[in-house]
Chain A
């Protein structure tokens, strides 16, 4: 359950950014990659616990899931593998280690009310 550490980091980051931009943060948009190692449901419930008693107690967490995208050098194309457990090109079936997207764990945007 490292999602609580992650939720606390998200709150710290949002609070800092909110203060810098002067306003009340009403929502935090987070990009969560398929291979980020973070479970969406666990993060959402950890966030609800973590925000209590903070300046962001009313802020919503909006999770934007990012699918896994790999690059296949044989096809010279990007694609989403059929299974996240096999980094296999959906077109030709070759294995590849080039991950284009899917590791994201970032605070993408904030909704700020002034």
Chain B
């Protein structure tokens, strides 16, 4: 006999599974003493060039590695190999973002305690990655001066879930008449108080400031542990 359906409260986070894996990853990272930074941006914002520069600078004093997500090809991983640090490609196929489970399986066989910094380069996409926690300590959102100063207003969710904004390709700023004041205003509107760095992976502009910030953050965290 069928009765009227009853309404049952469930109150479960839809991404419960991803969040659980991310939480376990974060615990593993902390226990191993590795500071984990993820990077998100639209395609072509310069994530890989930026990361290559960061890896090359950091490897002088630290043990660093990177995981790189892309729908297809291992071009980015091959580019980053020039930085002579361990790099592994995650090919997501049709999936437009990284999920915690993909990070966990890509890390199989890695000795995390032999690393100081691990970078996770997400698939080029400013929408989907915002929803998925990867267990990172710091999430960077990058956008280039060629993309327009109102990018943060168009993608508020990703900017709101990120910790730091990196404005890339500053060497082109004058050529595209980039309006820095308006860009910073957009960032502060969607994420008040957000730390922002203006960099050029080509000339090295702003890299020192950003790397100093990163080292301070990671030291603070290891002291807090």
Which residues of A line the B interface, CB within 8 A?
1-2, 5-6, 9-10, 12-14, 17, 21, 23, 26-27, 29-30, 35-38, 84-88, 95-97, 99, 105-114
Q: How far, in Å, is B190 (CB) from chain A's closest CB? A: 6
Residues of A within 8 A of B2 (CB): 113-114
CB distance from B169 to the nearest CB of A (A): 24
Distance in Å from the Cβ of A103 to the closest Cβ of chain B?
9
A94's nearest neighbour on chain B, judged by CB, is: B192
Contact assessment for B189 and A95 in the assembled complex, using a CB-CB cutoff below 8 Å:
yes
Q: A13-B16, A106-B11 are in contact. Are A111 and B190 (CB under 8 A)?
A: no
Is B10's CB under 8 angstroms from A9's CB?
no
B223 close to A (CB within 8 Å)? no
Q: Which of A26, A29, A37, A113 sits near B157, CB closer than 8 Å?
A: A37
B residues in contact with A97, CB < 8 Å:
191-193
Given that A13-B12, A35-B160, A85-B156 are contacting pairs, would A109 and B7 also be in contact in the complex, using a CB cutoff of 8 Å?
yes
A35 proximity list for chain B (CB < 8 A): 156-157, 160
Bound state CA distance, A68 and B89, in angstroms?
37
User: How many Å from the CB of A51 to the closest CB on chain B?
Assistant: 15
Enumerate 29 A-B pairs (CB-CB under 8 Å) in ascending A order. A1-B96, A2-B127, A6-B131, A9-B18, A13-B12, A17-B10, A17-B12, A26-B5, A29-B7, A35-B156, A36-B157, A37-B127, A37-B130, A37-B131, A38-B131, A84-B156, A85-B153, A85-B156, A86-B189, A87-B190, A95-B189, A95-B192, A105-B13, A107-B11, A107-B12, A108-B11, A109-B10, A111-B5, A113-B3
Q: Which residues of A contact B12 (CB under 8 A)?
A: 13, 17, 106-107
B: number of interface residues (CB 8 Å): 38
- Measured CB to CB, the residues of B under 8 A from A are 2-18, 95-97, 99, 127-128, 130-132, 153, 156-158, 160-161, 188-193
CA distance A110 to B96 in the complex (A): 29
**A86 touches which one: B16, B18, B97, B190 (CB < 8 A)?**
B190
Q: Which residue from B9, B95, B156 sits with its C-beta under 8 Å from A109?
A: B9
- The answer to whether A111 and B6 touch across the interface, beta carbons within 8 angstroms, is yes
B157 (CB) vs chain A CBs: closest residue: A37
CB nearest neighbor in A for B97 = A2
Given A13-B16, A85-B189, A105-B14, does the pair A36, B131 have CB atoms closer than 8 Å? yes
Residues in A neighbouring B96, C-beta threshold 8 A: 1-2
Instruction: Please list the 8 inter-chain residue pairs (A to B) with the smallest Cβ-Cβ separation, ordered nearest first.
Output: A2-B128, A95-B192, A111-B5, A37-B130, A86-B189, A37-B157, A37-B131, A113-B5
A26 to B11, CA, bound (A): 17
Question: Are B131 and A2 closer than 8 Å at their CB atoms?
Answer: yes
Question: Does A87 lie within 8 Å of B10, measured CB to CB?
Answer: no
Q: How far is the CA of A35 from the CA of B131 in the complex (A)?
A: 9
**CB–CB A114/B160 < 8 A:** no
On whether the beta carbons of B11 and A112 are closer than 8 Å, the reply is no
Known: A6-B14, A106-B14, A108-B11. A114 touches B131 (CB 8 A): no
Q: Which of A85, A107, A113 contacts B10 (CB 8 A)?
A: A107
